[in-house]
Structure 1
Protein backbone atom coordinates (compact mmCIF):
# COMPACT_ATOMS: atom_id res chain seq x y z
CA UNK A 1 0.00 0.00 0.00
CA UNK A 2 2.01 2.94 1.29
CA UNK A 3 4.92 3.78 3.51
CA UNK A 4 3.05 6.56 5.30
CA UNK A 5 2.43 5.97 9.00
CA UNK A 6 2.46 8.42 11.88
CA UNK A 7 3.43 7.31 15.37
CA UNK A 8 3.14 9.80 18.20
CA UNK A 9 3.47 9.12 21.90
CA UNK A 10 0.53 11.16 23.11
CA UNK A 11 0.65 10.52 26.85
CA UNK A 12 2.92 8.84 29.38
CA UNK A 13 1.98 8.18 32.98
CA UNK A 14 4.13 5.80 34.99
CA UNK A 15 3.98 2.35 33.44
CA UNK A 16 1.27 3.44 30.97
CA UNK A 17 1.80 5.05 27.56
CA UNK A 18 -0.67 6.13 24.90
CA UNK A 19 0.50 6.18 21.29
CA UNK A 20 -1.55 7.72 18.49
CA UNK A 21 -1.25 5.83 15.19
CA UNK A 22 -2.28 7.25 11.84
CA UNK A 23 -2.25 6.14 8.22
CA UNK A 24 -1.92 2.68 6.73
CA UNK A 25 -0.55 -0.28 8.66
CA UNK A 26 0.70 -2.69 6.03
CA UNK A 27 3.75 -4.72 5.06
CA UNK A 28 5.79 -1.53 4.58
CA UNK A 29 4.81 0.23 7.82
CA UNK A 30 4.08 -2.60 10.28
CA UNK A 31 7.76 -2.93 11.31
CA UNK A 32 7.81 0.75 12.37
CA UNK A 33 4.67 0.23 14.46
CA UNK A 34 6.17 -2.82 16.14
CA UNK A 35 9.46 -1.00 16.79
CA UNK A 36 7.65 1.98 18.32
CA UNK A 37 5.61 -0.28 20.61
CA UNK A 38 8.65 -2.27 21.72
CA UNK A 39 10.61 0.93 22.41
CA UNK A 40 7.85 2.18 24.71
CA UNK A 41 7.87 -1.14 26.56
CA UNK A 42 11.67 -1.02 26.87
CA UNK A 43 11.41 2.52 28.26
CA UNK A 44 9.36 1.19 31.19
CA UNK A 45 5.82 1.54 29.82
CA UNK A 46 4.61 -2.06 29.45
CA UNK A 47 0.95 -1.00 29.54
CA UNK A 48 0.26 0.42 26.09
CA UNK A 49 -2.81 2.01 24.60
CA UNK A 50 -2.79 2.41 20.85
CA UNK A 51 -5.19 5.09 19.64
CA UNK A 52 -6.18 3.97 16.15
CA UNK A 53 -8.50 6.90 15.38
CA UNK A 54 -6.47 7.95 12.34
CA UNK A 55 -5.72 4.45 10.96
CA UNK A 56 -7.08 4.20 7.43
CA UNK A 57 -6.05 0.62 6.62
CA UNK A 58 -4.61 -2.42 8.39
CA UNK A 59 -3.69 -5.71 6.74
CA UNK A 60 -2.42 -8.99 8.20
CA UNK A 61 1.06 -7.50 8.60
CA UNK A 62 -0.42 -4.87 10.88
CA UNK A 63 -2.33 -7.51 12.82
CA UNK A 64 0.91 -9.44 13.23
CA UNK A 65 2.65 -6.29 14.54
CA UNK A 66 -0.13 -5.77 17.09
CA UNK A 67 0.17 -9.38 18.24
CA UNK A 68 3.95 -8.99 18.58
CA UNK A 69 3.52 -5.84 20.67
CA UNK A 70 0.92 -7.58 22.84
CA UNK A 71 3.22 -10.55 23.44
CA UNK A 72 6.13 -8.31 24.44
CA UNK A 73 3.90 -6.23 26.71
CA UNK A 74 2.58 -9.37 28.37
CA UNK A 75 6.11 -10.70 28.84
CA UNK A 76 6.95 -7.42 30.61
CA UNK A 77 3.89 -7.85 32.89
CA UNK A 78 1.99 -5.29 30.86
CA UNK A 79 -0.87 -5.17 28.40
CA UNK A 80 -1.95 -3.84 25.03
CA UNK A 81 -5.24 -1.97 24.76
CA UNK A 82 -6.71 -0.55 21.57
CA UNK A 83 -8.81 2.58 21.21
CA UNK A 84 -11.07 3.71 18.36
CA UNK A 85 -10.52 0.54 16.33
CA UNK A 86 -11.64 0.94 12.70
CA UNK A 87 -14.52 -1.36 11.71
CA UNK A 88 -12.50 -3.47 9.28
CA UNK A 89 -9.75 -4.09 11.84
CA UNK A 90 -12.31 -4.82 14.56
CA UNK A 91 -13.80 -7.48 12.30
CA UNK A 92 -10.34 -8.99 11.69
CA UNK A 93 -9.67 -9.04 15.44
CA UNK A 94 -13.01 -10.75 16.08
CA UNK A 95 -12.60 -13.32 13.29
CA UNK A 96 -9.15 -14.32 14.50
CA UNK A 97 -10.16 -14.39 18.18
CA UNK A 98 -7.53 -11.79 19.06
CA UNK A 99 -10.18 -9.39 20.36
CA UNK A 100 -10.48 -11.53 23.50
CA UNK A 101 -6.81 -10.92 24.36
CA UNK A 102 -6.63 -7.31 23.22
CA UNK A 103 -9.36 -5.17 24.84
CA UNK A 104 -10.64 -2.19 22.92
CA UNK A 105 -12.51 0.98 23.83
CA UNK A 106 -14.35 3.55 21.73
CA UNK A 107 -11.84 6.31 22.51
CA UNK A 108 -8.37 6.84 23.92
CA UNK A 109 -9.89 8.66 26.90
CA UNK A 110 -12.15 5.70 27.72
CA UNK A 111 -9.23 3.29 27.37
CA UNK A 112 -7.01 5.43 29.56
CA UNK A 113 -9.66 5.76 32.27
CA UNK A 114 -10.17 1.98 32.29
CA UNK A 115 -6.48 1.12 32.26
CA UNK A 116 -5.42 3.71 34.84
CA UNK A 117 -7.68 2.12 37.43
CA UNK A 118 -6.16 -1.30 36.71
CA UNK A 119 -2.51 -0.22 36.39
CA UNK A 120 -2.17 2.11 39.36
Structure 2
Protein backbone atom coordinates (compact mmCIF):
# COMPACT_ATOMS: atom_id res chain seq x y z
CA UNK A 1 0.00 0.00 0.00
CA UNK A 2 1.29 3.42 -0.91
CA UNK A 3 1.67 5.88 1.92
CA UNK A 4 0.27 9.19 0.67
CA UNK A 5 1.47 12.19 2.60
CA UNK A 6 -0.68 15.27 2.64
CA UNK A 7 2.11 17.52 3.78
CA UNK A 8 3.21 20.63 2.00
CA UNK A 9 4.94 23.46 3.78
CA UNK A 10 4.92 26.87 2.16
CA UNK A 11 6.84 29.84 3.51
CA UNK A 12 7.01 33.30 2.01
CA UNK A 13 9.86 35.76 2.24
CA UNK A 14 9.33 39.17 0.70
CA UNK A 15 12.34 40.61 -1.05
CA UNK A 16 14.15 43.45 0.66
CA UNK A 17 12.07 46.61 0.32
CA UNK A 18 15.31 48.63 0.22
CA UNK A 19 16.34 46.91 -3.00
CA UNK A 20 14.21 48.73 -5.57
CA UNK A 21 14.42 45.98 -8.18
CA UNK A 22 13.08 43.37 -5.75
CA UNK A 23 10.49 45.40 -3.85
CA UNK A 24 7.61 43.69 -5.65
CA UNK A 25 9.11 40.20 -5.54
CA UNK A 26 8.70 37.35 -3.07
CA UNK A 27 10.37 34.00 -2.61
CA UNK A 28 7.94 31.17 -1.93
CA UNK A 29 9.72 28.18 -0.44
CA UNK A 30 7.92 24.90 -0.99
CA UNK A 31 8.71 21.72 0.95
CA UNK A 32 7.03 18.34 0.65
CA UNK A 33 4.79 16.94 -2.05
CA UNK A 34 3.02 19.00 -4.71
CA UNK A 35 0.15 16.74 -5.63
CA UNK A 36 -3.62 16.42 -5.84
CA UNK A 37 -3.93 16.72 -2.07
CA UNK A 38 -1.61 19.71 -1.52
CA UNK A 39 -1.33 21.79 -4.70
CA UNK A 40 -4.28 23.96 -3.74
CA UNK A 41 -2.44 25.07 -0.59
CA UNK A 42 0.52 26.23 -2.68
CA UNK A 43 -1.80 28.02 -5.06
CA UNK A 44 -3.67 29.79 -2.24
CA UNK A 45 -0.47 30.98 -0.56
CA UNK A 46 1.13 32.16 -3.81
CA UNK A 47 -1.99 33.93 -5.07
CA UNK A 48 -2.33 35.75 -1.76
CA UNK A 49 1.23 37.01 -2.11
CA UNK A 50 0.48 38.27 -5.63
CA UNK A 51 -2.74 39.97 -4.47
CA UNK A 52 -0.83 41.64 -1.63
CA UNK A 53 1.48 43.40 -4.08
CA UNK A 54 4.31 41.04 -4.98
CA UNK A 55 3.48 39.91 -8.53
CA UNK A 56 7.00 38.58 -9.15
CA UNK A 57 7.36 35.17 -7.55
CA UNK A 58 10.34 32.87 -7.24
CA UNK A 59 9.38 29.35 -6.20
CA UNK A 60 12.22 27.70 -4.28
CA UNK A 61 11.62 24.02 -4.96
CA UNK A 62 14.79 22.58 -3.39
CA UNK A 63 12.77 20.73 -0.73
CA UNK A 64 10.06 19.34 -2.99
CA UNK A 65 9.94 15.55 -2.78
CA UNK A 66 7.25 14.68 -5.32
CA UNK A 67 5.18 16.40 -8.01
CA UNK A 68 2.25 14.94 -9.92
CA UNK A 69 0.27 16.38 -12.82
CA UNK A 70 -1.79 18.54 -10.47
CA UNK A 71 1.41 20.09 -9.12
CA UNK A 72 2.62 20.78 -12.65
CA UNK A 73 -0.73 22.33 -13.55
CA UNK A 74 -0.45 24.53 -10.48
CA UNK A 75 2.85 25.90 -11.81
CA UNK A 76 1.16 26.83 -15.09
CA UNK A 77 -1.78 28.43 -13.26
CA UNK A 78 0.59 30.46 -11.09
CA UNK A 79 2.46 31.61 -14.18
CA UNK A 80 -0.80 32.89 -15.68
CA UNK A 81 -1.80 34.58 -12.41
CA UNK A 82 1.51 36.41 -12.10
CA UNK A 83 1.37 37.50 -15.73
CA UNK A 84 -2.17 38.85 -15.25
CA UNK A 85 -0.79 40.90 -12.33
CA UNK A 86 2.01 42.22 -14.61
CA UNK A 87 4.49 40.01 -12.80
CA UNK A 88 6.45 36.86 -13.44
CA UNK A 89 7.09 33.39 -12.10
CA UNK A 90 10.51 31.76 -11.85
CA UNK A 91 11.55 28.38 -10.51
CA UNK A 92 14.71 27.97 -8.46
CA UNK A 93 16.72 25.05 -7.07
CA UNK A 94 14.59 22.49 -8.90
CA UNK A 95 15.47 18.91 -7.85
CA UNK A 96 16.69 16.61 -10.63
CA UNK A 97 13.48 14.50 -10.73
CA UNK A 98 11.33 17.58 -11.09
CA UNK A 99 13.74 19.22 -13.54
CA UNK A 100 13.29 16.29 -15.91
CA UNK A 101 9.50 16.57 -15.66
CA UNK A 102 9.60 20.34 -16.18
CA UNK A 103 11.76 19.88 -19.26
CA UNK A 104 9.85 16.93 -20.75
CA UNK A 105 6.47 18.64 -20.36
CA UNK A 106 7.71 21.90 -21.89
CA UNK A 107 7.11 23.93 -18.73
CA UNK A 108 10.75 25.05 -18.80
CA UNK A 109 9.96 26.79 -22.11
CA UNK A 110 7.27 28.84 -20.34
CA UNK A 111 8.72 29.39 -16.88
CA UNK A 112 12.41 30.28 -16.40
CA UNK A 113 14.34 27.78 -14.29
CA UNK A 114 17.37 28.89 -12.26
CA UNK A 115 19.96 27.00 -10.22
CA UNK A 116 19.48 29.20 -7.14
CA UNK A 117 17.05 31.69 -5.67
CA UNK A 118 19.72 34.39 -5.91
CA UNK A 119 20.11 33.75 -9.65
CA UNK A 120 16.34 33.88 -10.14
CA UNK A 121 16.05 37.20 -8.29
CA UNK A 122 19.00 38.64 -10.22
CA UNK A 123 17.48 37.58 -13.54
CA UNK A 124 14.14 39.08 -12.53
CA UNK A 125 15.84 42.36 -11.64
CA UNK A 126 17.71 42.35 -14.96
CA UNK A 127 14.42 41.84 -16.84
CA UNK A 128 12.86 44.84 -15.08
CA UNK A 129 15.63 47.32 -14.27
CA UNK A 130 13.06 49.95 -13.29
CA UNK A 131 12.07 47.71 -10.37
CA UNK A 132 9.60 49.26 -7.98
CA UNK A 133 9.08 52.31 -10.17
CA UNK A 134 7.55 50.10 -12.87
CA UNK A 135 5.29 48.48 -10.26
CA UNK A 136 4.15 51.87 -9.05
CA UNK A 137 3.46 53.02 -12.60
CA UNK A 138 1.23 49.96 -13.10
CA UNK A 139 -0.77 50.68 -9.96
CA UNK A 140 -1.60 54.25 -10.97
CA UNK A 141 -4.81 54.25 -12.87
TM-score range, shorter chain: over 0.9
Equivalent position of 2:136 in the other structure: none
- Displacement of 1:10: 2.3
- Residue segments in structure 2 that go unaligned for 5+ positions in a row: 16-21, 132-141
1:3-82 to 2 correspondences below 5 Å: 3-12=6-15, 13-82=22-91
- Aligned partner of 2:94 among 85, 105, 108: 85
- Aligned partner of 2:119 among 110, 113, 119: 110
Equivalent residues of 1:2, 1:26 under 8 A apart = no
- Displacement of 1:118: 2.1
Aligned length: 120
Distance, in Å, in 2 between the alignment partners of 1:86 and 1:59 is: 14
TM-score of the superposed pair, with normalisation by structure 2: 0.80
TM-score of the superposed pair, with normalisation by structure 1: 0.93
- Aligned partner of 2:5 among 2, 8, 24: 2
